[in-house]
A and B are shown apart, each in its own frame.
Chain A
Amino acid sequence: MGKFVQLFADIAKLWGKYGSSYITGMRNTLILALVGTVIGCLIGFVCGVLNTIPYTKNDPLPKRFLLKLVRAIVRIYVEVFRGTPMVLQAVFVFYGLPYFTDSALKFTNIWVAAILVVSINTGAYMAESVRGGIISIDPGQTEGAKAIGMNHVQTMTSVILPQALRNIMPQIGNNFIINVKDTSVMFIIGFPDFFAAHRAAVGASYLYFPSATVEMAGYLTMTLIASFLLRWAEKRLDGSSSYELVQEDQLTMTAGTYSHPDRGTPFDERSKEYRDQVSQELKYGRTRGER
């Protein structure tokens, strides 16, 4: 019991002295993770789309060659950045640039370097998720879009990507949460994130365990809030589970063009019974006619 009292006292002491640097660290961690995840997703979407452009034997040779080349480049990018630790990638990029340019070019802004590394790393993971998200969409969706004359870009942006995005939302969330935690390796290039605040605090106070407790609680709070917000965003994307029937008196059927086969029977969806049945089913969340 006494140890816990001691712990609280130490934490209070740490917070009094380094509270603002912990808070700044948390803020930096969140910004880095968020920006890195967003840019990473964009990279992932571009790679995923480039990777799924279809080509047939009928296409001209240069186009086929270009598409194959693009696929090969994306493949190499994904394998290299998925297959190496982010801490090394950070060092590699941060010291690589001045090394190759004889220090003519270097990262004067640590944010640029950190965001670059996190984005490229996340992009490599997202490229595969997006590709999976795209190929998991029923090919009938693409055919439906093609059949009304949409080209590849229109099909992608209007039909496929919105559905793929919804399907990979959990992976995007996962990547964000991973980034909140894994950006802690960015201290290696001197980025002032939440974990760097810990290193600074214990370097001066030697209160290793109390500071680690603060860090544990801090990271957990950030990731829990992130999961909560992501769930909420997913729900928003799904939209309402029911719909409003438009009143029939606003819309008179064009006379004589279509005689309803079920007019007056319970199957007539314009009959009152049918509408009641529909609203009942919607209320209890049954999806109808799915096969």
Chain B
Amino acid sequence: MADKILQVNHLSKAFGSNQVLRDIDFTVAKGDVTSIIGASGSGKSTLLRCINLLEIPTSGEILYHGENVTGRGYNAAAYRSHVGMVFQSFNLFNNMTVLENCIVGQVKVLKKSRDEARTHAMYYLEKVGMAPYINAKPRQISGGQKQRVAIARALAMDPEVLLFDEPTSALDPEMVGEVLNVMRSLAREGMTMLVVTHEMAFARDVSNHVVYMNQGVICEEGTPAEVFGNPQMQETRDFLSRFRNA
């Protein structure tokens, strides 16, 4: 129980009459790399957005180190600074350079000095191979480069968990590899990650836990060997076979 960072209990989310998530239960422990797979429309993004409180769950609870974050009056901003998020569409700040993107949160939210924030930002920008581009604006760099900056921006906040929502789905094929490699090295270093992805090789080789979602429920979960090697549910088999044939 000690190193459980996040615990999701009976989480449900409806948009009007559209019940998107139903009774979701799972936990994220320190060092876990969890891949969430499933057809599009199955509620994967909504689940991540609920965890980051970008959407308010209809019912259920999300415990962060045992504390319920969905209650009224909870400081969502402070919680979000511990839970990083990388979006499919990058969402880099268009009015700032690459470096400023990675500094602003540290200065405004974590109240670090600019110098300290700059050094910290440079460390992560070097790590994702974007140090030469610190003076560029987001519109001047490629999709893969943007996503690597977005990862550095999230890392610079020293989050406990990083959420990724299809980080490579908006990229041209030749740029997918550079982003996945960064994510692989993060996993190797022990970063706790929750990754929504259609990259089955990544889910199989990098994560230690795989969650298959279907129509708003967790249909099957387990180790990659269990889910990919010996899926128990017919839906999981059907879903995975689509990737084998492709």
Q: Interface on A for B, CB 8 Å cutoff?
A: 56-58, 60, 138, 140-141, 143-151, 154, 158-159, 162-163, 166, 239, 242-248, 251-254, 257-262, 267, 269-270, 275, 282, 287-291
Contact = CB atoms under 8 A, between A and B. Distances in A.
Interface string B76-96: 011111101101011111110
A243 B56 CA distance: 40
Contacts, number: 149
A275 B109 CA distance: 35
Contacts of B143: 289, 291
Nearest to B144: A289
Among A140, A242, A248, chain B packs the most CB atoms within 10 A around the CB of A140
A284 B203 CA distance: 40
B24 interface: no
Contact of B128 (A144, A149, A258): A258
B91 A143 contact: yes
Contact of A146 (B54, B126, B175): B54
Contacts of A248: 131-132
Given A141-B93, A269-B132, A270-B132, A148 B153 contact: yes
B154 A262 contact: no
B87 A143 contact: yes
Given A257-B185, A257-B189, A144 B92 contact: yes
Give chain A's interface secondary structure class: loop
Interface of B: 52, 54, 56, 72-73, 77-82, 84-85, 87, 89-95, 97, 104-105, 108-109, 122-123, 126-129, 131-137, 139-146, 150, 153-154, 157, 170, 172, 174-175, 177-178, 180-182, 185, 189
A289 B122 CA distance: 23
Contacts of B141: 288-289
A28 B54 CA distance: 50
Contacts of B108: 150, 154, 158
A149 B131 contact: no
Contacts of B89: 140
Contact of A150 (B105, B136, B178, B180): B105
- Which 5 A/B pairs are nearest by Cβ-Cβ distance? A149-B81, A144-B91, A289-B142, A148-B105, A261-B177
Given A246-B132, A289-B142, A149 B80 contact: yes
20 contacts: A140-B90, A141-B93, A141-B94, A148-B80, A148-B109, A149-B77, A149-B80, A149-B81, A163-B95, A253-B129, A258-B128, A258-B182, A258-B185, A260-B129, A261-B181, A262-B178, A269-B132, A275-B132, A282-B140, A287-B139
